[in-house]
Chain A
Amino acid sequence: MNIVNEVNFNFKSKSSNESFARSAVSAFILCLDPTIAELADIKTAVSEAVTNCTVHAYPDSIGTVYINVKITDNNKIIIKIRDKGVGIEDVKQAMEPLFTTSNDERAGLGFAVMQSFMDKISVRSKLGSGTTVTMEKTLYRAGYDKR
């Protein structure tokens, strides 16, 4: 598996940037000619991960969110969303559907959506250092234009 294209970008953890983040990722992968459903899945998963950074990683301040997207030669998309925020005390518990520490009408479905809409997700977190969410999805009808 070789990486044929890659992008890195970062932005402030302001909620107004959630739309920018999912749009930027979807614009980058358009070269794979994803279906509307695949694109919607990826945009939704990115939106959930970035919202977690805004709401949970930097609860009382504005920090930086780092996104890395790779496209492989077997049409796999690997998205890494990283923050340097407060970290997650219990990753397993945080990933349980309906679990939320927020009282702002959050449904507690963020990780459930990421798990369901992507092929694979892994979460690495350290209290006080931050969290990295890595998600993968293979596009089935894709034919990457290597030019």
Chain B
Amino acid sequence: MNIVIIGNGITGITCARNIRKLDSNAFITVISEESEHFFSRTALMYIYMGHMKFEHTKPYEDWFWNKNRISLIRAYVKTLNSKDKTLHFDNGKSIAYDKLIIASGSIPNKFGWPGENLYGVQGLYSIQDLEQMERNTKNISSAVIVGGGLIGIEMAEMLHSRKIEVKMLIRENLYWSNILPREEAQLIGKHISAHGIDLRFNTELREIISDDQDRVKGVLTNTGEQFECQFVGLTAGVKPNIGFLEKHELETERGILINEYFETSIPDIYAAGDCAQFRNPKSGEPAVEQLWYTGKMQSETLARTICGDKSAYNRGIWFNSAKFFDLEYQTYGQVLPEINDQQKSFYWEHLNGKHAFRANYSNKDESILGFNFIGIRFRQAIAEDWIREHKTIDFVIQNLKKGWFDPEFSKAYYNDISHSYLQSLKGGNEE
């Protein structure tokens, strides 16, 4: 079997590795335009900040690919010919496949802002973006970041490490409030501000202003303010990278349309990761999953299907994590920005504003639905078991110690949390 994978990100590579584990005879080829070897995209910020070099971000040594007989091709796929099952590259060469897996990832969103193509204006997704950012931020003093998501805060931290002044334009009135409940959004917003980042809430980009050499010199906002800057980071999300399929009959919408087996509209072509879009996502789950974790889980399932054990994707209990400057964030299960009328929520925050805990639960049977942890590390397996087994909020609060994952000798807060919970029961001042 001749398997060709487009994309050497976490999805494509996890797929290749898992196919090799299940099938020692398959021919596996991975095509990437971006880099010769797989690297961790999540670590790009640390290269810029000088915590690591590019070589440190490669999870496998270079001999690994040969040893596991995974061929790597550095090329850009220009066209897909699904009738005679071949891919054509920009360098004129082509390759045939029996099964094709598209894991081409994302590109940064642009929304047609005036000036979005000026020099010094960019998003951050690929290694080329990072190289460009290195050039664009050389010897500059101030930057504006548009969008208050995870890449936005990464960019802010990167620029801050080079002593560049950063303003962030955030459409909502709180940081990341489309994901975080109000209290967490406020806490994290304060932490970011304490690091010297100028957060501008309720502010949208109107126009990027150019100097006479097509370089950015400032931005104009919807509030009529004008900010001088030599760099603009566009971090208003990412979208599936499917431009090379534009003229192809493969069905796409926002992403490549797939079913729960990652099958596209054409036999023997599969898609997974950031570039794929579920036709019928389960209720409460997004159609396009753009996370490291989901890319990894999707491709593990897909590898089984490719190797003959047809398996449907089951994302399991939701989890995610992030870090905002020095604040770590972990979430398990369902914690939406606002609870609905069938839910209750308990929230605890340390006076120092560096640790917070939230548990959402059903108001019918008090079973736990989800957690947010800020400045607290918690065991994933325990959180998931409790959610899956519908443990009650009382049980959870009493047993927090079991899942506590903070380093040894750290101050533990489970007693404070439990105390605060009992107080809230007495006072009845739950949300």
**A, B: real partners:** no
